[in-house]
Amino acid sequence: MKFYQLKAVFPIKQYKIFLEVWEIKFTLIVYHGLMNQRNNLGDLDLNENLINKMKPAPILVVGDVMVDEYVVGEVERISPESPVPVLLAKDRHRRLGGAGNVVRNVVSMGGNVALFATIGGDAAGEWFKKHCGEIGVDTFWLKTERSRPTTIKTRIVARNQQIVRIDEEYVGQIASEIEKKVLDDIRSVTPQVKAVIVSDYGKGFLSDLILNNLFAMAHSEGVPSLVDPKGFDFTRYRGATYVTPNIREASLASGVEIKNANTLEKAGRILLEQTQSEGVVVTRGKDGITLITRNKIQDFPVKPVEIVDVTGAGDTVIATLALAVASGLSIEEAAQMANLAASLVVARFGAASVTLEEMLNSLRNWPLGRKIIARDEVERTIRNHRLQGQSIVFTNGCFDLFHVGHLELLRKASTFGDVLIVAVNSDKSVQKIKGDQRPIVCEKDRLELVSALNFVDHVVVFDENTPYSLIKEIKPDILVKGEDWKGKRVIGEDIVNERGGRVQFVELVSGVSTSSIIEKIVTKNSG
């Protein structure tokens, strides 16, 4: 898909990312007390056919973008200066936030994005722009407004629990000259898209002038517009096709405290009048989604998972809804898709995204063994983790006669970043390095053993003597080796250092090795 602007062509790159995922097992929650005219998920069949209907449609995303920063570490003591925890920081990483997280979700599901937003003339803005390029999002329409610094939300995290969040932001309407340029650009792109997403975080980019013109343009082109709202006044979204508040937002904007099915319906009817939209999609957390239109109310229960972090779940919902309706699915079918996508991302830490392949895999109930990836799957697997702003840890070995030393190396390696990738020497490679009598355990079994560890994310086999070409392809942030490599040239350290990463050495378990185990076996048998 190409978007055209001022006689020039600006391609929006399309990525289809396929990632194997863990099976998610859960039980159905039945939402009680619903009115008789309501339908539930049982009336519609969520299956692979719906997911396969999703197309790489062009989506216009407009809203407040920001940088989500995570400082991750451990808390082991209280400060002697005041009764506050002391975090020993071990890692720091950034992700696209706000409307940027919506963009990540659209891209990860195969959509094309035209992003309209402003960033500041600062380092955070430059990072945002660069990262958009890395995931295939054209930044032509991204405006730099130096009077408005880029919003940064820094989350201090210990053991997957946020301790505190620090916000750096400026809230205020954009300059009139920027506003005019944005409207001109939107006018040129709207005829080329299949859906519009408005991601409002209340920072001031979405002025009434921009919203009014955007909805009018979308309507005239027959393009559905979806709004993730903010604030108390939903009349500013008048003209949108669908509005997607959560329970709290719906309560505040309607003035109705939502306690049950009746109050939910009442609030939805008020919001329909305020927005003059075709439907209000209320996200209700563990109770799923409720669609309220003038003709009916429909509930879509969700299958619950163990929730790790709900950050950004609303972004996933609206991205899925938009891509689904842009692909020709009904709003009811889109709501089912959004439920499934949200159930996957809340099981992960931080604002996450999901792929269509992951959604398919969750329906197919593929097992943990799918962590073993083929060499040609490495690039797309890594790309998806980069989309989520995750740090990549890499280590390698033969892992022949798997022992406690191997276990400890991999366990410690997993603590250095978000995703641990383990490269395992093939049988052919082991023979070259160790001799014709090795390996003792065949390649297939060694891969299965390593992939069975819950702290290992992906396992890949390589035939070469060294994993250098694999490291060059993966470009990990942290390269892990045993401490016996200290002072020696580590294969791939040049690639890691060039990216600003590091080589991390791990203390070995004394007296344990595959060779020593073989010697003991031989000695006992000979005796």
Report, as residue numbers or ranges, the catalytic residues.
315
Which of 317, 290, 316 lies closest to 301, judged by CA? 290
**Peptide bond between residue 439 and the one before it cis (omega within 30 degrees of 0):** yes
Element (H, E) at 516: helix 514-526
For residue 260, what is the enclosing H or E element?
Answer: none
- Going 342 to 343 to 349 to 355, the CA torsion angle's sign is negative
Neighbour tally for 241: CB within 10 Å = 21
**φ/ψ (deg, to 5) at 33:** 75, 20
Q: Is the separation of the CB atoms in 38 and 296 below 8 Å?
A: yes
Q: What is the DSSP string of 86-113?
A: EEEEEEEEEEEEEHHHHHHHHHHTT-EE
**Residue 310: φ, ψ to 5°:** -95, 0
Q: Give whole-number Cα distances, 438 to 403, 466, 525, in Å.
A: 16, 17, 18
Task: Estimate to the nearest angstrom the gap between the alpha carbon of 327 and the chain centroid.
Answer: 21
Backbone angles phi, psi at 479, to 5 degrees: -110, 120
Cβ count near 302 (within 10 Å): 24
Distances (CA, A) of 381 to 343, 349, 363, 397: 20, 18, 19, 21
